[in-house]
Amino acid sequence: MNSFGNIFKITTWGESHGPAVGVVIDGCPSGLPLNQYELTSYLKENDRPILEIATERKEPNEVELLSGINEGRTLGTPISIVIKNIDFIKKDYSNITTVFRPGHGDYTYYKKYNINSITGGGRASGRECIARLAAGYIAEKIIKTHFNNFSINTEIIELAGIKIKNENTKNKALNKVLKISKRKDSTGGAIKITVSGIPSGIGEPVFQGIDSRIAGALISIGSVKSVDIGRGRECSKYSGSDFNDDFDIQNGEIKFKSNNNGGILAGISTGYDLEIKISVKPTPSIGLVKTGITADNHLKEISVNGRHDKNITPRVAPIARAMICLVITDFLMLCGKINKDKL
């Protein structure tokens, strides 16, 4: 289950402290302009959005395109992307190689596979997401070849429990993140995502609704613990008469008077903006002493060394963007809005 998508399909591979991570993209149409330099530039720009609260691990994220490209254009065949891991320090994990850390995937991976790659979190590390970021860039590029008014915006709306409304509240939130990190602790946050410019009628009935696919895509990001679409969990506070998005006619066109459902009804897009919010948990790797457990059921107090994000929310934002673009590209191909063979 390391693959995602129906027609536009990706398979990611690699571990945090392995020699490389990467992705194989199947279903990319032929004719898309693409080269490793633009892709490398995009990864460098989006992998470290707020430096003062990000991990000190500095991967160069140099992309190597192994297949699917000829003279700067896609061939329609599988695209294989390799991104080497350069800046990792395995000795930072020397004190916990036999202990499952609280808040991590160590315990559950071991229960499933009976073996684990604890250093750097292995496959459960956020490092895996750099492959998704590369695939998402290609997906977004495909969408924009057909929909010039397509846009997707991510906005950090909360850090360390502080709602971000302006520059002052942003600075206050960042200062709180840094203050808590000095205690060797971490914080969480929330991100608002707005998608504009996709047509109505995108999505499949019942089990393949665009909302269910987006929710699943976003919750697959390791640090994301909840997804709200439209008013989300706030919908429980409304009456039906207040919540329903009433119809209207403006200049002969069907419109909605509100967008409480976040641009999706019955799993199918309405043509209005997709409005999504995700909540991100505190980074589980912290220096405070916490209780772990060994494979032979012995409790052990541990603290996690190494270089970790003080707050991972800013680094989740571009991954969320990538995952939504992957979902939308797949749906546009499923309904014939984008030719799956050539652009």
Helix, strand, coil shares, percent, the chain, to 5:
35, 25, 40
The pLDDT assigned to 90 comes to: 60
Looking at the chain, how many residues does it have?
343
pTM metric for this prediction: 0.94
Residue 92 has what pLDDT?
60
Residue that is written with structure tokens 């800046």 in the block: 87
Secondary structure (DSSP) of 94-144: TTSTTEEPTTSSHHHHHHHHS----GGGGGGSGGGHHHHHHHHHHHHHHHH
Task: Find the distance separating the first CA and the last CA of the chain, reported in whole Å.
Answer: 29
Within 13 A of 115's CA, how many CA atoms are on the CB side?
A: 0
- Beta carbons within 10 angstroms of residue 58's beta carbon: 13
From the list 3, 85, 74, the residue with the least C-alpha distance to 34 is 74
Residue stretches of the chain with pLDDT short of 70: 49, 51, 89-96, 117-120, 306
CA 229, 210, 31, 132 torsion-angle sign:
positive
- pLDDT at position 119: 64
Tens of pLDDT, residue by residue over 220-237, are: 999 999 999 999 999 999
- Token pair for residue 200? 């109505």
Domains along the chain?
Answer: 3-334 (3.60.150.10)
- The helix-helix angle for 313-334 and 129-146 (nearest 10°) equals 50
Give residue 126's pLDDT: 85
Residue 51's pLDDT is what? 66
User: Is 223 in a helix, a strand, or coil?
Assistant: coil
- What are the tens digits of pLDDT across the range 165-200? 999 999 999 999 999 999 999 999 999 999 999 999
pLDDT of 249 reads: 96
